């Protein structure tokens, strides 16, 4: 299926902002009409209504230097993929399902075209590319606040555990991201910019009001998927994840090891295995649901 647009990027954005807001019943009817009857008019109405969501997500990836037109195009393709694969009988809003496809499509485009990571686009590389700096900064802030020194090896271990990848992958991505292709802290270079850095141009991360409302409606379904995946784990692994991931103040590997009569390393291995199994369970609900664990 091919979809063409006669509008330029600005025109498309203006058209998207004027598009209707679908209620749940109308959205369900359109999705079923496309799935069961291949009603192209229903598909067009469904996709048009959520182009504002696709464009909003595309703007958040301008920081990686891709042309905005390309980002919108990839977001649109992700939206179309979501419409093609969406099952309206699952009990989740299309907007929630589409978010994962839109994000995956944009991320794949960025990774294909950013020279630092052009050589690979595995799931672990994608997760590292888009989360490494955020997670690293979090651990560095925590170490500074607690006054506990954190050497590079400890930092890599924490990052690997948090994101759910191998330490070797962390080391490789740190090397790639340490290059000089792109720096958000580089000055824009014009006297008229008054010393502004590229990071100052990032889009507002707050989702539009309608997106937040739709997400609130869907959170029960998403929580149900997570609980279902958690219950499939052995009881000991359930306990470890609850204590490590679901508490306001997560417990340390040491304290859990003492309680369970296990070594710190064994607890870490059980936690990593549990997270891997949960991701596999969640994939039954869509290829990009693993992003919930990020």
Residue 151 lies in a domain: yes
**Rounded to an integer, what distance in angstroms lies between the CA atom of residue 280 and that of residue 193?**
47
Q: What is the pLDDT of residue 37?
A: 93
Length of the chain: 294
Domain count of the fold of the chain: 3
Residue 216 lies in a domain: yes
Q: What is the pLDDT of residues 73-98, one digit of tens each?
A: 888 888 998 999 898 888 888 888 89
Q: How many CB atoms lie within 10 A of CB 121?
A: 14
| Same domain? 66 vs 128 | no
Residue 111, helix vs strand vs coil: helix
Residue 193 lies in a domain: no
Residue 79 lies in a domain: yes
Q: Read off the pLDDT band of 269 (50, 70, 90).
A: very high
CATH of the domain at 96: 1.20.120.1810
| Same domain? 70 vs 124 | no
**Rounded to an integer, what distance in angstroms lies between the CA atom of residue 140 and that of residue 157?**
13
Residue 258 lies in a domain: yes
List the alpha helices (DSSP H) in 50-122: 51-59, 68-85, 94-113
Containing structural domain, residue 276: 208-294
CATH of the domain at 217: 1.10.10.10
**Rounded to an integer, what distance in angstroms lies between the CA atom of residue 270 and that of residue 224?**
23
- Residue 26: name the closest of 45, 44, 39, 54 by CA: 45
Q: What is the pLDDT of residue 210?
A: 47
Residue 192 lies in a domain: no
Residue given tokens 């997560």 in the structure block: 250
Q: What is the pLDDT of residues 16-52, one digit of tens each?
A: 556 678 888 999 999 999 999 989 899 999 998 898 8
| Same domain? 103 vs 126 | no
Q: What is the pLDDT of residues 122-177, one digit of tens each?
A: 666 777 777 888 888 888 888 888 888 888 888 888 888 888 888 888 887 776 66
Q: How many CB atoms lie within 10 A of CB 34?
A: 22
């Amino acid at each position: 299926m091919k979809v063409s647009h006669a509008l330029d990027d600005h025109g498309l954005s203006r058209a998207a902002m004027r598009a209707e807001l679908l209620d749940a019943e109308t959205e369900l009817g359109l999705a079923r009409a496309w799935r069961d009857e291949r009603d192209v008019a229903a598909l067009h109405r469904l996709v048009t209504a959520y182009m504002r969501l696709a464009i909003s997500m595309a703007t958040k990836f301008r920081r990686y230097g891709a042309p905005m037109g390309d980002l919108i195009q990839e977001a649109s393709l992700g939206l179309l993929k979501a419409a093609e694969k969406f099952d309206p009988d699952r009990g989740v809003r299309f907007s929630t399902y589409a978010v994962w496809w839109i994000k995956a499509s944009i991320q794949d485009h960025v990774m294909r075209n950013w020279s630092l990571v052009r050589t690979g686009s595995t799931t672990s590389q994608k997760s590292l590319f888009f989360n490494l700096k955020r997670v690293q900064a979090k651990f560095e802030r925590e170490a500074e606040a607690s006054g506990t020194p954190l050497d590079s090896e400890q930092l890599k271990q924490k990052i690997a555990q948090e994101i759910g990848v191998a330490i070797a992958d962390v080391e490789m991505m740190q090397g790639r991201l340490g290059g000089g292709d792109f720096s958000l802290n580089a000055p824009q270079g014009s006297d008229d910019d008054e010393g502004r850095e590229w990071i100052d141009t990032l889009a507002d991360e707050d989702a539009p009001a309608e997106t937040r409302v739709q997400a609130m409606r869907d959170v029960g379904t998403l929580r149900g998927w997570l609980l279902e995946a958690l219950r499939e784990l052995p009881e000991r692994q359930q306990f470890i994840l609850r204590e490590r991931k679901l508490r306001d103040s997560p417990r340390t590997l040491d304290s859990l090891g003492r309680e369970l009569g296990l070594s710190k390393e064994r607890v870490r291995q059980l936690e990593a295995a549990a997270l891997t199994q949960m991701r596999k369970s969640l994939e039954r609900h869509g290829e990009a649901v693993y992003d919930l664990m990020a």
